C-alpha cells in the first residue's frame, strides 16, 4: 500500500471482534483510523488505547450501519473533512443461529440490511472515490459459510455468499483502476460472534475455532498482496476443498456436525 499523509483506514464494526483487531493491527502499522460502530463507549475506549500506545490519529464515528441514510451521511462528513479512505474494511455483520421459520421476520430482514445492503452502499460510495484516485483497498469480511448453505444459518450463509461473490466480481472490475478488492473467509473464531448468534459451542467447534489475531493478519496480508480471497487456517482450507470436491449432501452434513446444528 502506498503511504500518504492523508490516507486513512475505515473499519466498520470496530468496537469488538475482528473489527477491534483490525484497528489494533493497522494502528501498529502507524495507520490513521476511522472507527465505525454503534457502541460509542467501546469505540472511545479503543481509540484512547490506540492513540496512547501507537500515537496514531483516530476518528470515532457512531453510526447505525443498518441505515443507508446514515451511511451516506458518514461518507459526506468524511468527504467534507477531506478524510481520504485508502482502505475500507467491510467487517460489520450480524448472524443468528436457528431454524429459518423460527426466526422473527424482522430479525432476518435486519440481517440482510446489515450484511448485504449496508456493505453494498459503503462499497459503492468509497470505491467510487478510490477509482477516481486510481488507488484503494477494500476487504470484505465474508465467511467459511459463504461456500455452502448451512442448516440453521440459512439467511446468514446466504448473505455471506453474496459478500463473497460480490467481492469476486469487484476484484475483476476494479483491478485495472488501481483498486484492490479481497474477500476474507474466516471459519469460526473466538470473537464473540457465537455468543451473539446464540450458537451452541460444540467440542468439534472448539477444536477448529481460531483466535482473531491470525485471521486478521491473514486478511491484511492478502489485501496488501492483491489477492482475490483468503481462507485462514489449515482446517478451514480443508473444509473449502471438501466443499468443491465432494457431493453437496456430504459436505453439508460435515459442516452441520462441525457447527453443532
Residue 107 lies in a domain: yes
CA–CA separation, 41 and 218 (whole Å): 28
CA–CA separation, 72 and 95 (whole Å): 24
pLDDT at 1: 43
Separation in Å, CA 222 to CA 130, 153, 183, 260 = 19, 27, 9, 30
Helices marked H in 113-153: 119-133
* 162 catalytic per annotation: no
CA–CA separation, 114 and 116 (whole Å): 6
Residue 30 lies in a domain: yes
pLDDT at 61: 98
| Cell, residue 20 | 477491534
Residue 143 lies in a domain: yes
Residue listed under C-alpha cell 466443499 = 243
pTM: 0.89
Q: CA torsion 104→106→112→118, rounded to 10°? A: -150
Q: Which one is catalytic: 26, 156, 166, 193? A: 156
| Cell, residue 129 | 472515490
Q: What residues make up the domain containing 76?
A: 7-200+209-233
**What's the domain count of the chain?**
1
Residue 1 lies in a domain: no
pLDDT at 95: 83
Report which secondary-structure segment, H or E, holds 205.
Answer: helix 203-208
Residue 228 lies in a domain: yes
pLDDT at 132: 98
Residue 246 lies in a domain: no
Q: Looking at residue 146, which CATH number applies to its domain?
A: 3.40.50.720
pLDDT at 3: 43
pLDDT at 84: 98
pLDDT at 171: 99
Residue 160 lies in a domain: yes
List average pLDDT for each run of 10 residues in the chain, which is 261 residues long.
Answer: 71 96 98 96 97 98 96 98 98 90 94 96 99 98 91 94 98 98 89 53 67 96 98 82 68 62 58
Residue 145 lies in a domain: yes
Amino acid at each position: 500500500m502506498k503511504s500518504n499523509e492523508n490516507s486513512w483506514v475505515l473499519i466498520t464494526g470496530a468496537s469488538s471482534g475482528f473489527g477491534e483487531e483490525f484497528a489494533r493491527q493497522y494502528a501498529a502499522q502507524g495507520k490513521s483510523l476511522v472507527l465505525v460502530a454503534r457502541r460509542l463507549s467501546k469505540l472511545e475506549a479503543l481509540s484512547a488505547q490506540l492513540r496512547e500506545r501507537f500515537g496514531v490519529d483516530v476518528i470515532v464515528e457512531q453510526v447505525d450501519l443498518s441505515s443507508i441514510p446514515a451511511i451516506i451521511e458518514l461518507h459526506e462528513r468524511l468527504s467534507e473533512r477531506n478524510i481520504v479512505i485508502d482502505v475500507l474494511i467491510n467487517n460489520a455483520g450480524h448472524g443468528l443461529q436457528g431454524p429459518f421459520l423460527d426466526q422473527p421476520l424482522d430479525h432476518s430482514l435486519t440481517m440482510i440490511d446489515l450484511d448485504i445492503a449496508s456493505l453494498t452502499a459503503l462499497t459503492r460510495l468509497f470505491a467510487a472515490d478510490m477509482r477516481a484516485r486510481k488507488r484503494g483497498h477494500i476487504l470484505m469480511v465474508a465467511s467459511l459459510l459463504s461456500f455452502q448453505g448451512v442448516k440453521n444459518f440459512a439467511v446468514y450463509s446466504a448473505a455471506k455468499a453474496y459478500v463473497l461473490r460480490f467481492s469476486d466480481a469487484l476484484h475483476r472490475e476494479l483491478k485495472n483502476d488501481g483498486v484492490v478488492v479481497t474477500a476474507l473467509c474466516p471459519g469460526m473464531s473466538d470473537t464473540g460472534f457465537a455468543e451473539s448468534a446464540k450458537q451452541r459451542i460444540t467440542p468439534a467447534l472448539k477444536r477448529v475455532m481460531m483466535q482473531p489475531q491470525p485471521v486478521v493478519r491473514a486478511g491484511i496480508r492478502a489485501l496488501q498482496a492483491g489477492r482475490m480471497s483468503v481462507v485462514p487456517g489449515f482446517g478451514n482450507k480443508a473444509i473449502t476443498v471438501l466443499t468443491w470436491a465432494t457431493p453437496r449432501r456430504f459436505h453439508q452434513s460435515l459442516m452441520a456436525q462441525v457447527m453443532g446444528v
